[in-house]
Amino acid sequence: MNSFTLVIRYVGFAAVATIGNLGTQRAVLSMGEHWFLAALVAGTAVGLVTKYVLDKKWIFHDARRPLPTEARMFTLYTATGIGTTLLFWGVESAFWLVGQSHAMRELGAVIGLAIGYTVKFNLDRRFVFGKAAVPQR
């Protein structure tokens, strides 16, 4: 796959995961603004699973593996996302605190996710889906 196609797919999948993330956040926040932390966690979970499934198949062309190996890979995928998630949450939270509006919160989320996904791609390529990360049989 050429670099242009890879970038287009990755950005598209990041957008799909972002929409799922923010949609989930909106649903949780509809119960009240005091649900902010729960909204962050729920949205992140939806985005994480969505992005893993799409990246595995369409970005890294990773084959299906036995459940223990798949669980290990998902754990690594999640681990590479810890720092990038904290970055995303920090940017989103800062925009929320400064702007005091959902529009500003979502702008911060989009900016934080864009930065985070760029970093995460490089981590996943090396530590999750690279040959060294996947046990060979």
pLDDT digits (tens, 9 = 90+) for 65-94: 899 999 999 999 999 988 888 998 899 999
Contacts of 74 (CB under 8 A, 6+ apart): 52
Alpha carbon 46 to its chain centroid, in Å, reads 9
Mean pLDDT, the chain, whole residue set: 89
Domain layout of the chain by residue ranges: 3-128
pLDDT by residue (tens digit) across 116-134?
Answer: 888 999 899 999 998 645 4
**Averaged pLDDT, 27-49:** 94
| Residue whose structure tokens are 């290990």 | 72
Is 0.85 topped by the overall pTM? no
pLDDT of residue 131: 64
Which long-range contacts link 77-86 to residues 24+ away (Cβ below 8 Å)?
77/48, 77/52, 77/124, 77/128, 78/48, 80/120, 80/123, 80/124, 80/127, 80/128, 81/48, 81/116, 81/120, 83/119, 84/115, 84/116, 84/117, 84/119, 84/120, 84/123, 85/44, 85/116
Contact 40, 89 (CB under 8 A): yes
**Averaged pLDDT, 35-42:** 94
| Residue whose structure tokens are 């911060």 | 108
Contact 134, 69 (CB under 8 A): yes
